[in-house]
Each structure stands twice: as C-alpha cells, then as structure tokens.
Structure 1
Amino acid sequence: MRRLAQAAFTSAVLASLALGLASAARGEEPNREKVFVGYLNGSPRNLNYKLYTHICHAFLTAGPDGKLNPNRSVPSRALTAEAHAAGVKVLISLGGWGWDDQFRAIVADREAEARYVEAVVRMVDENDYDGIDLDWEYPDRDDEVPGFERLTRTFRERLDAIGRAKGRRMFVTMAASSNYGTFSRLDTAFLVETMDWINVMTYDYAGDWSSRAGHNSPLFASSKDGPNGGSTERSMLGFLEKRGVPADRLAVGLALYGRGFHVREPYTSTKGLARKSFEVSYKDTAKRLAEGWKRSLDEETKVPWLTSPDDSMVVGYDDAESIRLKTEWALANGFRGVFFWQVDGDRMPDGSNPLQAAAKAACNAAR
C-alpha cells in the first residue's frame, strides 16, 4: 500500500504539469475534481442522479463505412436534459466489446473516418452530450495505433470547439483493459494530451478463460492464484509504474456483477469442466443469499464469495463492504475516482442501489 500511495503521489505531481499544459493549450483551467461515473447500457430507468458526476451512455456503434448503426437508446436528448438538470454530465460511449474490427476498418479509410467523426460530433452537439467515451477494445496492433491517435485527436479538437461555443468543458475519456500491456503501443504523452481520464476495467479477472475458479474483481491478489494472479491493485500499479500514467488520469472500475464456477471451493482447477463460469448480477446474489447461499469474506483479497447450499458452486462478487473498501482505496491512492459497469446491476426492487450508494458514501466521507 505504501508503495502504491507513493507512486500515486509522484504521478499526481506529473499530472498537474501535464494536464496544466494540455488545458492551457485549449485555453482552459485544469479541473481535476473526483469523478463518480456510471455506465448506462440502454435507456434510462429511473436513475438516481445524486450518485453520479458523469454518465457514460452505452453504446453507439458504426459499420466499417463509418455510418452509424440505428439504436433505439442512443442518442437521448431526454437523458441529457434530465441529467443536466441534476448537475450530471453525459458522454456517449462509442463502440464496446467486439467492435474493434469496425474501428480498424473505419480508420483505414479516410472517407469512412471523416464520415464517422462528422456523424458522432453532430450527434453530440444536437443532443447536448458533454463528450465521448471511446470504447475501442482494443487498439493493440501496430497498424491500428496511427488511426486511433488521429481519430482521438480529431475528436478532441472538434469537441473542444463545441465546448468553446457552448461555454462549457467537453470530455474525452476511454475504456482500458485491466491488463495495462494491452495499451503498450499507445504513447503515455498522447494519452495525457487527449484524455480527461481513462476508465480502467478492473474486473473480469476470471471466467471461461481461467484455469482456476478465481474472483471476478479482487482488490488484492490471492496467493492461491499464483505469483502472477491479477487484481485491481496490480493493474493500477501497472498503469502507474509501467506506463507512467498519472494517477488522477485513471478511474478504478467497480463491477456490479460477479462470476460463478461449478466447483466446491474458490481457486479450484476448472480443467475438464464442460461449463466453467456463469455471470451473476448483484441483484441475483441478493436472491441467492435469501435462498441459503453462504457469504464469506476473503481476507487476503478483501472481496466476498458465495457458496451454494449443496457446496457445488462458488460465486466471486462484490457487495457493499467490498465496494466501500475499493472506493476508499482508490481515493487514498490519488486516483481520479471510480466508475460502475453497469448502473442497473444493483438496482433492487425498492429502487435503491446499495453498492453504488456505499461507494458514494465513501466518496463523500473522503472530502
């Protein structure tokens, strides 16, 4: 913890310089207030706007020709109006998992790229969004980097122009894999220049691709997962120390779902299983607890497990306690804030969001 806190402090100093230069170039004052971001996947459903500083409205996709795909949820002028009335900013999330081929094709054709940029910028302007969240998952090939950088810089320039006309700041953010090596081809100076912050997806550490029944989103690595086991801490430390990204340009991802495995105990080998894992929303874990599943806290990783009554399944998930600990950890180490995938995951029958509320309480307590 001391090592990460020290790295975060050093990065914060660098961020102050880098962001100050980038903002000065755009005629702005640096503004690095903490962010509390919720990803909204689809249409709004009675959102509790008091929980958020920003909402990322997912997803807007396009074909390889740069023409936007029809979508009943995005854009939503009603969403931006409602959010702005509550003091919340809204960004359009572009792409999403599985759309990297389309991004690659768009930037390989200058006409398609120009068509795409124009359509997105027009949608942002006409629907009063506050910027974009670029979810190209991921620009991890040498031939993709020039196009990714050109596309990002063009968006940054065009959105800043809209911001000057409207008299308010416009945002450019992006989603990043928890594996910092995925972004090894992207220059850190470029990221600092163009991105307001990066949403690091510190979850999906275990699943069908795993050899063990690991936790979906551990705060700290488990010794049972071997010397190279993944965790939120290790991922964020990688961005700080390996990539040199300033701490206040990074938001820590908090998942409102977990993953289960058909094994008797956590970290059991999954080799030979016909069906390895299954996804469980927090709403479903609450139902399982009511059905007699047993909760236990992993003291090493600081996240809970559920075990089925017949000891045939385990689920690694987050609850209000672990979410609070992660939020406190993120703020104590100087990160920009936290974000949730996705906001409906902990929506209870009474309309409450207990996990997001726990994180928000931790944010408020840290002020």
Structure 2
Amino acid sequence: MNRRGIALLATTLLLAACGGDSGDQGGGVPPPPPPPVVQVSIAPADVEIVPSAIQQFACTVTGSTNTQCNWRVQEGAAGGTISAAGLYTAPAATGTYHVIAASAADPNRTATATVRVATPTAATAWVTGYYAGWYWDVMYPPQEVDMTAMTHFVFGRVAPGGGSLGGTPGTVVRGAGTAHDPGLSPDGTRSVEDYLVQRAHAAQTRALLMLGGDGPDGIGFLLSTTDAMRPTFVRNVVDYLVAHDYDGVDIDWENELEGNAGMGVSAAEARRRLMALISDIRTAANSRPRYSGANRPVIVTFPGYAVSINFLEPGGRVEQWQADVANMVDQYNLMSYGAGTAFNGAGWDSWFSGPIFGATGTTPYDLNTSINAYVATGVPRWKIGIGIGFYGIYYGPTITGPRQSTAGNSTFIIDDVALRYNELVRKGYLDDRNGTYHWDDTAKASYRSYGAGGYVPAIDPASPRAGYLSYDDERSIAAKGSWVRETGVGGTILWTINYGYLPQSRTNPLLAATKRAFLPQRP
C-alpha cells in the first residue's frame, strides 16, 4: 500500500471510532438522551392495623405521563384484598403482609408496603382538642393549656384560598389573627402558634393544623382542589405543616360536599376532589424527611357528621362516600354536638346536644346509632370518634325539657360563642337559683329547665328567654368516656377547649373531666 492509501485508511478508522463519516464536518451528532426511568412510591410504606380493618394506600409514579398504578397483595387472598383505588382490607388472620403497587406504564417498576396485622392491645382512646387561635389573647392563655389532657392538639386555623378568608385558590390563608405573628408568645420570641406546637410536643401530644372550617371554606376547597390546582394547594399545605413542625392536618371540609350547581360541580365530583386531596396530602407529606421513619408518617383527620335514623341507607348504613372518607383518614370524628344532633320546627321534638342513646323518629340522632351505621358500612369502630361540645344549646321559653314538640317554637339558640361554657357560668345559666338540673338516663345527658317565662340573664337582658338548656358537663362527659372505652370507639373531639376555661379560677373543668374520663392513665 502506498503512502496515500495508508493515510486514507487511517482517516477512515478515525472517523469510524468517532462515530462520524467523511462528510460530517461538525464532529458528530450526540445521541438522544435515554428515556426517563419510571419510579414508583407508595404511602404509607409501613403500617400496623387490626384484623379485617381497612387501609387506604396511595401510589406516586414519576418518569411517565401515565401515573396510574395497578394493585395486588403479594400473599394473594390470604393476605387480604385491595381495590383498584388502593383501598386495602386486611385478612382476619394476624401476620405480616405486603401490598404492591405496579406502574401501569412499566409493570416491572413497583413499590411495596409492609402491613402488620395484629390483635389490638388495650387501646387508649384519643382526645383531639381544638384550640381557637384567634381567641388566644382573650380566652385560655396559651401557657395555661393542659396539653396532657389531650392526645392530639389542633391549632385553629388556616383556610384554603378563595374561601372565607379570601386569598387566591391554591394558597393557604392564615386565620388565627395575631397568633401567627412572631414575638407574641409567652416566651417573647415565637408566635403563639409555634409556641403551642412546641408545648404539645413537650407533653408527648401530637399537634395538628386545622385546615378549613364551616361556611364559605367549602367554596375555597372546591376552587383549590381542581385537578389543575390541587398539586399547588397540596404543596402549600405540606410546606406549612413542615415549616411549623405539625404532626398532621385536620381537613375541615364541611360544606359544598353536596356539590355546587353554580360552579358546575356535582356531589360526586366534590367528594372525588375531597378524597384526592386526602390521598395527595398523605403522599406528598410522607415523601418529606419530616414524616419519614417509624411513628412519623403524617396524621390526617376529618370531622364528619352524625347521621339521622330517618335517612339511613338500606341495612342501617351511611352513604358509601362517607365510609370511604372515614377509611382514608386516621381519625374520623363526628361533629355530634349542637345543631349536629338537635333541631327545631315542625316534625322535630326538643332534643340533646350529643346524646349517647334514645334516637326516635322525631329525635333522630344519637351517638350509638351513628357509630353503628358507619361500622355497618365497613368502617372500623376504632377509627371513629364522637364529639363533645364545650357549649350549650337552648329552646324556649315554652319548651322546658327534651321530647317536647317544637312546632311553633321561635327560640332555638345554637350559637357556640354566645353559649360557650364559660359564658353559661358567667351569665348564671348553670346556677341552681335560676334553673333546675336534670339527668336523662336514657340519653345519658345533662340538662337544665327554667321556671315560668324562662330565664334571661340580668347582665344580658336582650338575650332570648331560655326554657330548656342542653349542655355537656362533668357527668355527661364521664358517661361518654366510659361508653367510648367500653365499646371500642376511637375517641373524641372537643370544640373548643377555649370555651371551657374559667378565668376567675384559671381552671378548665370540662377539659379536666375529659382527661379523667378518656385518659385515666395520664397523670
């Protein structure tokens, strides 16, 4: 081979080694990037539940536009069952089982959750107490809150943007006034909010954030949970939880769950958005370091409703969506106080705030019936809590006790602020000189009746006259605590612990009674 042939051969070999050809003057075209790797995560990744209990799982898929998962139980039918939506039902037998989520886009990409099914030991009922942060400087000073009287402390509140507090949909709007401001806590440095969270943790009490509330917050939730907006809203909620060191969130979506025709949202769509919000918050939070590790997954609770015996589904059941929500959260607490159990008008008889038993067609609410209806629809009893209101309701003045027709009655007062326990004391409603105390052994409830013409406080003569007052006191709280612990109900919520504080004596008799009744093991 001559010199020119040797040079051409060398050039050809060099171009081949570089991936080019003799016509490529730019040094070669880089290869396309590899496709993204599909990854799957599952939440919760480790959970302990009792036999036959129900647990909601959620999966997150990255690396593909198809974010769906297919579910299965590794042990087959012996390990329980799981629905296409990730709702797992444990087997009756104890043991350790595994739930697997596989990417629909790449079935070889999976994530596995460990499920330990164990017989429950003697359970401690929960006490979840709400603290209205907007009252911090006028009602129940933060340094005096007895955190040992609760297993879960809920700070109120923030709201979804576009609801009662305004703001842009998808944002988290602060609603506790100056309780959010730095430097106003008793230590002079932190906010009252952060101070209370720290005090809860020091007492081994979990701290939850109240998200939402009654009234227009339902609109805010609808606006903030569209499929387009929900990721932003979830990120903002979880950012807030982490920033303030909360252990979880209480999702107070109370309104618009029947839909909103003006917004073009059906009941089914509103409920779908609620369940998507619960699932997405749990998944997003548990991906953060704050909620990683044993006993640290985010806590999600929800306040639901007691149910009327006149409107139960066949078989004495609640509507399926209510059971589905209950099974997705860690606590499903019934707002079974005030207007949650008592009504006024034709077809209704006077009734109690939070009775345990005694529901009839004209007094159609009690705790026992409501709990049983949820259980009949597949919700474990230990996941459900009852409500105790630290305020009263009254009829009058012609209504003087329970089970009296309210047709034509014009006075039915259910304002929790006006009738909070410390105001009932201050205005003399609970003074034996002004009314007679009674105990109803069927409902397990306390009440007061007043004389002819009813009672009106001398210090508030503009108040409508009261003939019959229903309220929780130490005796009714003791009865509720015994019933909850004896029947395996999960616990109770308290609305709100501020209302029970008596400034003159610097005591909170109702909170102390709750501690004795529900948490006798706590010093």
Shorter-chain TM-score: which interval?
0.7 to 0.9
Shift of 1:172: 0.7
Q: Could you say what secondary structure the match of 2:225 adopts?
A: helix
* 2:357 maps to which of 212, 217, 220: 220
Residue of structure 1 equivalent to 2:105: none
Deviation per residue, 1:156-190 (Å, 9 max, x gap) = 11122234447623201111011286972527456
Preserved contact between residue 93 and residue 134 of structure 1 (Cα < 8 Å): yes
Q: For residues 283-302 of structure 1, what are the structure 2 equivalents within 5 Å?
A: 283-286=422-425, 287-290=428-431, 291-302=433-444
Aligned pairs for 1:90-239 within 5 A: 90-98=207-215, 99-108=217-226, 110-138=227-255, 139-140=257-258, 141-162=267-288, 163-165=290-292, 168-179=296-307, 184-186=319-321, 188=323, 191-192=326-327, 194-203=328-337, 204=339, 205-208=341-344, 211-221=348-358, 225-226=360-361, 229-239=364-374
CA distance in 2, matches of 1:220, 1:151: 34
2:345 aligned with 1:345: no
Query: Residue 366 of structure 1: CA displacement?
Result: 7.6
Asked if the contact 1:257–1:282 (Cα under 8 Å) also holds between the matched residues in 2, the reply is yes
- Secondary structure in structure 1 of the residue aligned to 2:220: helix
Residue 362 of structure 1 corresponds to which residue in structure 2?
Answer: 517
Could you say which residue in structure 2 is the equivalent of 1:54?
152
378, 385, 390: which one pairs with 1:244?
378
Letter in 2 for 1:115: T
Instruction: Please give the alpha-carbon distance, in whole angstroms, between the structure 2 residues aligned to 1:272 and 1:21.
Output: 59
What's the % identity of the aligned pairs?
Answer: 21
Amino acid paired to 2:515: K
- Cα deviations across residues 177-218 of structure 1 (Å, max 9, x unaligned)? 1128697252745643x3112111122311456733221221
Contact kept, 8 Å, 1:145 with 1:185, in 2: the verdict is: no
Structure 1 residues 344, 187: closer, same or farther in 2, change over 3 A? closer
Which of 170, 173, 176 is the equivalent residue of 1:66? 170
Structure number with the higher helix fraction is 1
Distance verdict in 2 for CA 1:33–1:319, change over 3 Å: closer
Q: Is the 8 A contact 1:100 1:136 kept in 2?
A: yes
The change in CA–CA distance for 1:82 and 1:22 in structure 2 (over 3 A counts) is farther
Instruction: Give the one of 249, 272, 283 matched to 2:408.
Output: 272
Quote the offset at 1:314 in angstroms: 0.7
Secondary structure in 2 matching 1:332: helix
Aligned to 1:198, the other structure's residue is in SS state: strand
> Could you say which residue in structure 1 is the equivalent of 2:133?
42
Kept in 2: contact 1:142–1:185 (CA 8 A): no
Report if aligned partners of 1:23, 1:29 keep a CA contact under 8 Å in 2: no
How far apart in 2 are the matches of 1:66 and 1:132? 16
Cα distance in 2 for residues equivalent to 1:228 and 1:14? 33
Structure with the greater relative contact order (CA < 8 A, sep ≥ 6): 1 or 2?
1
Letter in 2 for 1:146: R
Task: Please state if 1:255 is matched with 2:395.
Answer: no
- Decide which moves more: 74-83 or 289-298: 74-83
* Backbone CA RMSD of aligned residues: 3.1
Render the CA deviation track for 1:85-142: whole Å, top value 9, x for unaligned: 121111111111112122122223x342222111111000011001111111143411
Aligned length in residues: 352
Give the drift of 1:63.
Answer: 2.3
Rg (Cα) greater in structure? 2
Distance 1:26 1:292, change over 3 A: farther
Q: Is the 8 A contact 1:212 1:269 kept in 2?
A: yes
1:320 corresponds in structure 2 to 474
Instruction: Give me the whole-angstrom Cα distance separating, in 2, the residues matched to 1:105 and 1:208.
Output: 33
**Residue 221 of structure 1 contacts residue 234 of structure 1 at CA under 8 Å; is this kept in 2?**
no
Question: Are the counterparts in 1 of residues 344 and 409 from structure 2 also a CA contact under 8 Å?
Answer: no
Question: What is the CA–CA distance in structure 1 between the aligned matches of 2:383 and 2:214, rounded to whole Å?
Answer: 22
Cα deviation for residue 278 of structure 1 reads 4.1
Q: Is the 8 A contact 2:393 2:412 kept in 1?
A: no
What does the per-residue CA deviation read over 1:319-363, in whole Å, with 9 as the maximum and x for residues that have no partner?
Answer: 101111011101111111122111112212312222222222123
Contact 1:331–1:366 (Cα < 8 Å) also in 2: no
State the one-letter code of the partner of 1:101. Answer: I
Cα-to-partner distance string for 1:2-21 (whole Å, 9 max, x where unaligned): xxxxxxxxx96422885787
Going from structure 1 to structure 2, the CA distance change for 1:229 and 1:56 (only over 3 Å counts) comes to same
SS in 1 for 2:386: strand
Higher alpha-carbon deviation: 12-21 or 321-330? 12-21
Using the TM superposition, name which of 49-58 and 198-207 deviates more: 198-207
Amino acid at match of 1:56: V
Distance (whole Å) between structure 1 residues aligned to residue 99 and residue 450 of structure 2? 52
Of 199-208 and 128-137, more deviation after overlay is shown by 199-208
TM-score, with structure 2 as normaliser? 0.61
Q: Amino acid of the residue matched to residue 404 of structure 2? A: T
Contact 1:26/1:160 (8 A) holds in 2 = no
Q: Aligned partner of 1:322: which letter? A: S
